[in-house]
C-alpha cells in the first residue's frame, strides 16, 4: 500500500517535471483572446476591429512557467 502510493507520487512528479520543462522551453502560447490573430473583431460590426489588449497584436502571450 505504502509502496504503491510512493509509485503514484513519483509518476506524478515525473509528469509535472516534463510539463514544466516543456513550458520552460516553449514560453509562448497562442493568445486565448484573439486566437493568435492579434485583433478583436467587433460583435456588432464584423468589419471593425481593435488591437487585442491581451497580446498587443502579437497574437502570442507568455504561458505559465515561461522563462524570460
Q: Which residues bind Zn ion (CB under 5 A)?
A: 31, 33-34, 52, 54-55
Q: Which is nearer to Zn ion, 7 or 56 (CB)?
A: 56
What is the nearest approach in angstroms of Zn ion to the Cβ of residue 49?
11
Of the candidates 28, 17, 20, the one whose C-alpha atom is nearest the C-alpha of residue 68 is 28
Query: Hey, which residues does 49 pair with through a beta bridge?
Result: 41
What is the nearest approach in angstroms of Zn ion to the Cβ of residue 59?
6
**CA distance linking residue 59 with residue 68, whole number of Å:** 18
Q: Which is nearer to Zn ion, 23 or 54 (CB)?
A: 54
What is the nearest approach in angstroms of Zn ion to the Cβ of residue 63?
13
**CA distance linking residue 5 with residue 33, whole number of Å:** 40
Helices (H), the chain: 2-25
Q: Which is nearer to Zn ion, 3 or 46 (CB)?
A: 46
Amino acid at each position: 500500500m505504502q509502496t504503491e502510493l510512493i509509485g503514484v507520487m513519483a509518476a506524478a512528479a515525473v509528469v509535472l517535471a516534463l510539463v514544466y520543462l516543456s513550458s520552460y522551453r516553449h514560453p509562448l502560447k497562442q493568445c486565448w483572446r484573439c486566437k493568435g490573430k492579434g485583433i478583436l473583431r467587433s460583435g456588432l460590426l464584423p468589419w471593425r476591429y481593435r488591437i487585442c489588449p491581451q497580446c498587443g497584436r502579437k497574437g502570442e502571450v507568455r504561458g505559465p512557467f515561461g522563462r524570460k
